[in-house]
Amino acid sequence: MAKSLQIIPEKCTGCMQCELACSWVQTGMFQPSRSLIRVNIFDEQASYAPYTCFQCDEAWCMTACPVNAISIDSDTGAKVVGDANCVGCGLCTIACPFGTVFYNPDTQKAFKCDLCDGNPACAVACPTGAIEYTESESADWLGGWAEKVNASYLQSIEGGNAA
């Protein structure tokens, strides 16, 4: 069983330590604009949700890349952009359904989460356990979360009808 990044949004306080840690890996500075994990803050819903690459089994970024610059790391299973081959066309950033492949204007290359060679800095930095790097069947935590949100939404609508 492979390890994957699991994100538990309910534990997130929106502190941005994951963005700081990731950007440090990318640029050697604390530069959240270059982080590959992003925290979205939804104030009115009191929801803070970090998200990053799921390392999809069927990775559309790889499929879209015209120069085969994205490969699979045999140790971690991460989809990794090879800087030597990347021509910076940005097709992978468009192909990704989750918006987790980015274009770096400084290097003029695509960049995305590579799981830090098996020791993700974001998970190490997270002070609340909202990001964990653990063994699991699937990295698709989003599916379970979406199911829950949908269920509660449907319930609220049904409740509304009943009332």
Partner 1 sequence: MSNGGWTGTILRVDLTTGRISKEPLNMDWAKSFVGGRGLAAKYLYEEMDPASDALGPDNKMIFATGPMTGTNASTSSRYMVVTKGALTNAITTSNSGGHWGPELKCAGYDMLIVEGRAPVPSYISISDGDVRICSAEHLWGKTVWETDDIVREESGQHDTVVTCIGPAGENLVRFAAIVNDRHRAAGRSGVGAVMGSKNLKAIAVRGTGGVSIADPQKFMSAMWEMKNKLVEHPVTGEGLAAYGTAVLVNIINESGALPTNNHQVSQLEGADNISGETLADTRLVANKACFGCTIACGRVSQLPGEAQDKFTVTTRPHNWKIAVEGPEYENAWAMGADCGINDLDALIKANALCNELGMDPISFGATLAAAMELYQTGAVNDSQTGIPLEFGSGDALVAMTEQTAYREGFGDELAEGSKRMTAKFNHPEFFMGVRGQEFPAYDARAIQGMGLGYATSNRGACHLKSYTVAPEILGIPEKMDPAVTEGKAEITKIFQDATCTVDASGLCLFLTFGVGLDEIQPQLEAVTGISYSVPDLLEVGERVWNIERMWNQRAGFTGKDDTLPKRLLEDPIPDGPTKGEVNRLGEMLPEYYELRGWNAEGEPTQEKLASLGLA
Assign 153 to helix, strand or coil.
Answer: helix
Nearest CB to partner 1, comparing residues 6 and 26: 26
Least distance from partner 1 to the Cβ atom of residue 86, Å: 20
Least distance from partner 1 to the Cβ atom of residue 14, Å: 6
d(CA 86, CA 101): 13
**Interface with partner 1 by CB under 8 A: which residues?**
13-17, 20-21, 23-24, 27-34, 43-48, 125, 127-128
- Say if residues 6 and 138 touch (Cβ distance below 8 Å): no
Residues with Cβ < 8 Å from 94, sequence gap 6 or more? 64
What residue has token string 């840690």? 21
Nearest CB to partner 1, comparing residues 20 and 56: 20
d(CA 22, CA 113): 9
Nearest CB to partner 1, comparing residues 69 and 122: 122
Nearest CB to partner 1, comparing residues 82 and 99: 99
Least distance from partner 1 to the Cβ atom of residue 151, Å: 18
Least distance from partner 1 to the Cβ atom of residue 113, Å: 18
Q: What are phi and psi of 26, to 5 degrees?
A: -75, -45
Sign of the dihedral through C-alpha 24, 29, 34, 38 = positive
